[in-house]
Chain A
Amino acid sequence: MLAKRAARAADGAPLGIRMRVNPVAKTVLQRLGLGLVTLFIVSIIIFSAIAMLPGDFAKATLGQSATPETVAALQHEIGLDRPPIQRYFSWIGKMAQGDFGSSFASRTGYRRTVAEIIAPRLYNTMFLAVMTALVAVPLALGLGILAALYRNSWFDRLVNTVTLTTISFPEFFVAYILAFLIISRDTFAGTQFAQSLPVWLAVSINWTLNVVPKFPTLANISDQTPFWEHVWRAALPSITLTLVIVAHMMRMTRAAIINMLSSPYIDMARLKGMRPMVIVLRHALPNAWAPIVTVVAFNLAYLIVGVVVVEVVFVYPGVGQLMVDAVKSRDVPVVQACALVFAATYILLNLIADIISIATNPRLLHPR
C-alpha cells in the first residue's frame, strides 16, 4: 500500500490525472468489464455445447436411411469439419450480427433460421416479463417494508407463512390451481362435492367463484393480437409469476430492511423520538436501496426460470416454451440461442443491479 502510494507520488503528473477520474465511474467500468468477461466465457460454454455432441450426432439426427453424403452435408452445415476455435469465432461473429444459424428442423429448400423462430417469441416473453414486473415489484416492496415495520405482528406472521408456502410450491402447482379455480366457475355446481354440501354453502362458494374474472386458461396469442387483448390473455401466466416472485422479493426486502433497522444510527434516530415511518423512509430506505435493487434484479432474473414452466402450462408462445420443445427434439442451435438469450438477460440484470448499488452506496466504492 505504502509502496504503491510512493510510486504514484513519484511520477507526479499522472497522479493528478488519475485523481480526477471519478471513482464511481472507475468501479462501474470495472464491473462492466467483468460482466463482459462473464458473458464471453458463458458464450464459450454454450458454444461448446455443439462440440460436446456425441460423435454420431449427424447420423442419429438423420436416421438409419442417411447416405454418407447427407451425413457429411449436415456435419458441414453444423461445422463439425472445421477446428473448434475457428468455429467459435465465426459463430460468435454471426451471433453478434443477429444470425443465429439455422434450426435442425430446416430441410433442403426450406431453411428455418433460428433468428426468425426466436424473434416473435422473444417479444412475447418480454411482454409477459415486463407486465409481471410492473405489478410484482411495487407490490413486493410495499409488503416487505410493511412487514419489516410491523415485524412479529400478526400481519408479519401471516404474510411470512403465506409467502413461505408460496415459495415452496412448484410454479406449475400455482398455475394449475389458478386454472382450476377459473374452470370451477362453470363446473363447480355440477360436481358431487358441491351436491354433498349444504345448499347455502354451495351457492355462496359458487357466487365467490363467479367474482373471479374469467381469464382465458390458454394464452392463445399471435402477432395480430391487439395490445389489450394480449394483456387479457397473458393475465393468468402473469398472475402466477407475480405470486411466485412477490413471495421471494417480499421476504428479501423484509430481511434487507430489518438488517438495516438493526444499525446503530437507526437506534440513534429512534432515541431521538422519531416516528417509525419517518425512520424507515428517511433513514433506512436511502441506505437500503442497494440491497433492494439487488433483490429486485435477483428476482427478475428468477422470473426467467419461472417463465419457462409457466409458458408451458398456459401454452404461451414464448422463448421458454420454444426452448423446452427444442430440448425435446434436440434441436441444438435453437437451444443454444435460447440459452444465450436467457443467460445474457440474467447477466445483464445482475450487472445493472451491481451498477445501481455502486452508484447509490458510497461505501461500496472502497471494498476492503
Chain B
Amino acid sequence: MTSAEPVIQTTGAPRVKRTRRSRMRIALKKAPLSAWFGMGVTLCYILVALFAPLIAPYRETQVFSEAFAPWSHEFMFGTDQLGRDMLTRLIYGARNTIGIAFATTTISFTAGVTLGLLAAMYRGWPDQLLSRAVDVLMSIPSLIFALMLLSIFGSSITSLVLIIALLDSTRMFRLARAVGLNVVVMDFVEVAQLRGEGPAWILRREILPNILPPLIAEFGLRFCFVFLTIAALSFLGVGIQPPSADWGSMVRENATLITYGDVTPLLPAGAIALLTVAVNFVVDWVLHSTSGLRDEK
C-alpha cells in the first residue's frame, strides 16, 4: 500500500499565501473535462435523490394493470414485472441505493479513520490487536464474508449497512494508520503534546488536517466500492429487500426482458455504472492534484 507520498508543490516562483477558497477556485479552473463531467453527474444524482418525490411521476410502489409494459408516453421506460412505473422506480432507486451506500461509507470512514489514527498515535498492544484483526478480516474476500454474515443475520437494511461498514472500515483503518504514522512523528505533534494538549485536540487539529486529502479521495473510492458491493448483493437477491426501489434488484427482477432484446433492464445497471464512473473521475482528479504521485491507481 503506497501512502502519504510527499506533497509536490506545483506553484510558480513567487509564492503568495492563498486563502482556502481562492486555492479551491484555482484548482477548479484547472480541472480537466472528465472531472467537470464527474462533478456534474454526481450533482444531478444527488439532486434526484433529494427531490425524488417531486420529480417522480408516480408513487414508489404504485402498481398499474400492465406488467412489462413497453415504453410509451404514459410510462416513459415502461413498467416492471409487477406493473410499477420504471422511471419512478429509477428515481426512488437513486434515493435508496445512494442513501444506503453513503450512510455505510460514512460509518466505515468514521470508525476506520478514528481507530486507525488512535492506533498510529498510541501504538503498543491496541495497535497490534487492531492490525491483526484487520489482517484476518481482509484475508476473506469481502463479498464472500458479507454473504456469510447475511446468511446468519438475515437481509435487513440495518444488518446490511453494519456488515458492509465493518468489512469496509478495514481498508480505511489501514490507510489512516499508515498516513497517520508519518505525521505522528512530526515535531509539531510533539510540541502540541508538550504544550499539554489532549489526544482529541491533537487528533483533530494537528494530525487530521495534514492527512485529509488522501483520506477524502479514499472516501470517494470506498463509496464506489460500497455502492457496487450493495448493488451486487441486491442483484443477488440478498441485499436491499422489496418493495423499496433499488437499482441492483431492479436489474435482477427485469432481467428476463433482455432475452427479448429490450434494453430496459440495462437502465438501472447503467445508472449504477454512470455514478461510479463519475465519482471515479472526480477522485482521479483530486488524487492527481493533491498528491501528484498517487495517480496510478
Note whether A and B form a binding pair: yes
Assuming the A-B contacts A41-B136, A168-B276, A258-B296, are A180 and B266 also in contact, with contact meaning beta carbons closer than 8 angstroms in the complex?
yes
- B-side contacts of A338, CB under 8 Å: 144
Q: Which residue of B lies closest to A255 (CB)?
A: B296
Given contacts A38-B139, A180-B266, contact A332 B261 (CB under 8 A): no
Expressed in whole angstroms, the Cα–Cα distance for A156 and B236 within the complex equals 35
Residues of A within 8 A of B141 (CB): 301-302, 304-305, 342-343, 346
In whole angstroms, how far apart are the Cα atoms of A313 and B251 in the complex? 10
A279-304 at interface with B (beta carbon < 8 Å): 301-302, 304
Contact of B152 among A49, A217, A328 (CB under 8 A): A49
Q: Is the interface of B mostly helix, strand, loop or mixed?
A: helix
Shortest distance in angstroms between A182's beta carbon and chain B's nearest beta carbon?
10
- Asked if residues A327 and B151 are in contact (CB atoms below 8 Å), the reply is yes
Cβ contact within 8 Å between B139 and A172: no
- Interchain CB contact under 8 A, B231 and A170: yes
> Is B296 within 8 A of A309, CB to CB?
no
Give Cα A167–Cα B221 distance, bound, in whole angstroms. 12
Q: Does A61 contact B (CB under 8 A)?
A: no
Task: Note all chain A residues with C-beta closer than 8 A to B270.
Answer: 173
B258 within 8 A of A: yes
Instruction: Tell me the complex Cα distance, A332–B148, Å.
Output: 8
Which residues B253-272 have CB closer than 8 A to chain A?
Answer: 255, 258-261, 263, 265-266, 269-270, 272
> Chain B nearest CB: distance from A146 CB in Å?
16
Verify if B237 is at the interface (C-beta below 8 Å from A): yes
* Bound Cα distance from A326 to B147, whole angstroms: 10
Interface string of A293-334 (1 = CB under 8 A from B): 000000001101100110011000000000110111011100
A176 pairs with B277, CB closer than 8 A: no
Interface string of B124-160 (1 = CB under 8 A from A): 0000000000011001111111011111101000000
* A176 lies within 8 A of B255 (CB): yes
Residue in A closest to B139 when the chains form the complex, CB atoms: A38
Q: Which residue of A lies closest to B259 (CB)?
A: A183
Contact among A172, A177, A339, A347 with B148 in the assembled complex (CB-CB below 8 Å): A339
Q: Decide yes or no whether B92 CB sits under 8 A from chain A.
A: no
Chain A contributes a number of interface residues (CB within 8 A of B) equal to 61
Whether A172 lies near B261 (C-beta < 8 A) is no
Within 8 Å of chain B (Cβ to Cβ): is A233?
A: no
Within the complex, the shortest CB–CB distance from B145 to chain A, in Å, comes to 8
Q: B228 interface residue, CB < 8 Å from A?
A: yes
Q: Does any Cβ of A come within 8 Å of B238's Cβ?
A: yes
Q: Are B147 and A323 in contact (CB under 8 A)?
A: yes
Determine the distance from Cα of A106 to Cα of B225 in the docked complex, in whole angstroms. 37
Of A165, A171, A217, A305, the residue contacting B144 (CB under 8 A) is: A305
- Cβ of B273 within 8 Å of any chain A Cβ, yes or no, is yes
- Interface check A336, CB cutoff 8 A: yes
Most buried by A among B136, B255, B265, B296: B296
B-binding segment of A70-78, A82-90, A186-194: A186-194
Q: Assess whether B280 is interfacial by the CB under 8 Å rule.
A: yes
Which A-chain residue is minimally distant from B270 (CB atoms)?
A173
Q: Does A42 contact B (CB under 8 A)?
A: yes
CB distance from B185 to the nearest CB of A (A): 16
List A contacts of B147 (CB < 8 A). 308, 323-324, 327, 335, 339
Q: A84 to chain B: closest CB distance in Å? A: 15
In contact, B261 and A180 (Cβ under 8 angstroms): yes
Check A46 for interface membership: any CB of B closer than 8 A. yes
Which A residue's beta carbon lies closest to that of B263? A180
Q: A172 and B235: CB pair below 8 A?
A: yes
Q: Which one, B34, B148, B151, B232, contacts A171 given CB within 8 A?
A: B232
Is A309 touching B152 in the complex (CB atoms < 8 A)? Answer: no
Provide the bound-state CA to CA distance between A338 and B143, in Å.
Answer: 12
Contact B144 A343 (CB under 8 A): yes
Is A210 at the interface (CB under 8 A from chain B)? no
Could you tell me which residues of chain A, from 172 to 216, have a CB within 8 Å of some CB in chain B? 172-173, 176-177, 179-180, 183-184, 186-188, 190-191
Q: Is B207 part of the contact surface with A, judged by Cβ < 8 Å?
A: no
Structural contact, A170 and B269, CB atoms closer than 8 A: yes
Is the CB of A121 closer than 8 A to any CB of chain B?
no
Q: Is A158 engaged at the interface, CB distance under 8 Å to the other chain?
A: no
The answer to whether B151 and A326 have CB atoms under 8 Å apart is yes
- Whether B261 pairs with A188 at a CB distance below 8 angstroms is yes
Instruction: With A49-B152, A53-B152, A169-B276 as known contacts, state yes or no: A179 contacts B258, CB within 8 Å.
Output: yes
> What is the CA–CA distance of A327 and B141 in the complex, to the nearest angstrom?
16
Contact across chains for A52 and B152 when beta carbons are under 8 A apart: yes
Q: Which residues of B contact A45 (CB under 8 A)?
A: 136, 140
List, in ascending order, chain B residues with CB within 8 A of A190's CB. Answer: 261
- Chain A residues engaging chain B, CB cutoff 8 angstroms: 38, 41-42, 45-46, 49, 52-53, 161, 164-165, 167-173, 176-177, 179-180, 183-184, 186-188, 190-191, 217, 251-252, 254-255, 258-259, 301-302, 304-305, 308-309, 312-313, 323-324, 326-328, 330-332, 335-336, 338-339, 342-343, 346-347, 350
Q: List 13 A-B contacts (CB under 8 A).
A: A45-B136, A49-B148, A52-B152, A164-B281, A170-B273, A173-B266, A191-B261, A258-B296, A328-B238, A332-B151, A335-B148, A339-B140, A343-B141
Beyond A161-B34, A323-B147: 9 further Cβ-contacts under 8 Å?
Answer: A168-B273, A170-B232, A170-B276, A255-B297, A301-B141, A305-B142, A309-B232, A346-B140, A346-B144
Q: 10 closest pairs, A vs B, by CB? A: A187-B261, A255-B296, A168-B276, A173-B269, A327-B151, A168-B277, A169-B273, A305-B143, A342-B144, A343-B140
